[in-house]
Amino acid sequence: MSVDIAIRKTLRADDRHFELDVAFASAHRRIVIFGPSGAGKSLTLRAMAGLLTPDEGHVRVDGRTLLDTRMGVDLPPRDRGVAYVFQDYALFPHLTVAQNIGFGLARGWLNPRRRFHDDRVRRWLDIFELAAVADSYPVRISGGQRQRVALARALAAEPRLVLLDEPFAALDPALRGRMRGELMALQARLDPPLLVITHDPADVEALDGHTIEVRDGRVV
C-alpha cells in the first residue's frame, strides 16, 4: 500500500483565510495524521476522498492517480475506491444497521431491502458482532456499536484505503481504549490499509503507525 499526496487549497470564509499545503508519501499500512483541531486534517481527508477539490496537486493510492490537477484527472468520490469513516459516523438514520452496512453494495436508486440480508452483509454483521442489532436503527444502538457499523459499512465496499476521521473522539474514554484495540485487531485480521487523523496523542501511541504531524495547514 502506498499513499502519495500533495495538495494546495486556499479557503476563504468571511474575513478568515486558511492555506492548506500538505504533502507526504508513505508506504506504511497505518498512517496517522496528527495535529490540533483546525490544522487542516479533515480537509486533507476530504480531498483524498474527492469531497473537496484542491486548487492544485495530486492524490495517488497504490500508484493509481485519483487526482492530478496538471493532468486534468479528478475522479468522483464513487470511483476512488477509498472508504471514509466520519467522525460522528454519518450512519443513515432512516436505515437499519444491516441496510447501512449493505448501502454501498447496492448501486441503484433503491436502498437495500429491510428484511433481506445479503451474504456479504451477514459476514460483516458476524465479524463485528452486530447480528443481534441487524434490524435496529442507528438511534437505538450504543456508541461502540455505531462505530462498528460505520467501519463495517466502509469495509463492505472493499476499499483500497480506509480514511478514519477522529475515529475515537465521539466515544467516552473507557470505550475509547477498547475500540482502539478492536481497530488494531481488525487490521491484523483483514489487512485494510488505514489512514487515521487524530488530535489525541494517545491515539498516535496506540496506533503505532507512520505519524505525520500537521500544523496550520502544513506538514511539520
Partner 1 sequence: MGTVWLPLALSLKVALWATAINLVLGVAVAFGLSRWRSHARELVDSILTLPLVLPPTVLGYYLLVLLGRRGVFGEWLDRLGIQLVFTWQGAVIASTLVAFPLVQKAARAAFEAVDPQLEDAARVLGLREAAVFFRVSLPLAARGITAGALLAFARALGEFGATLMIAGNLPGRTQTLSVAIYAAVQAGDDRTAGIMVTVTSVTCVAALLLAGWLAPAHLRRARP
Burial readout 44-53 (b: 16 or more C-beta within 10 A, e: otherwise): bbbbbbbebe
Least distance CB 54 / partner 1 (angstroms): 16
Rounded CA separation 20/141 (Å): 37
Enumerate the β-bridge partners of residue 33: 197, 212
Residues 6+ away with beta carbon under 8 Å from 102: 112, 117, 118, 120, 121, 156
Least distance CB 87 / partner 1 (angstroms): 9
How many of the other CB atoms lie within 10 Å of CB of 151? 25
Least distance CB 122 / partner 1 (angstroms): 18
> CB-wise, 145 or 211, nearer to partner 1?
145
Q: Which residues of the shown chain bind partner 1 in the complex (CB under 8 A)?
A: 49-51, 76-78, 80, 82-84, 86, 88, 90, 92-94, 103-104, 107-111, 138-139, 153, 157
> CB-wise, 156 or 186, nearer to partner 1?
156
> CB-wise, 85 or 212, nearer to partner 1?
85
Least distance CB 3 / partner 1 (angstroms): 16
Eight-class DSSP state of 133: G
> CB-wise, 49 or 214, nearer to partner 1?
49
Helices (H), 65-209: 97-101, 119-127, 143-156, 173-190, 201-207
Least distance CB 52 / partner 1 (angstroms): 10
> CB-wise, 21 or 46, nearer to partner 1?
46
How many of the other CB atoms lie within 10 Å of CB of 78? 10
C-alpha cell at 69: 490537477
Least distance CB 216 / partner 1 (angstroms): 25
At 216, is the secondary structure helix, strand, or coil? Answer: coil
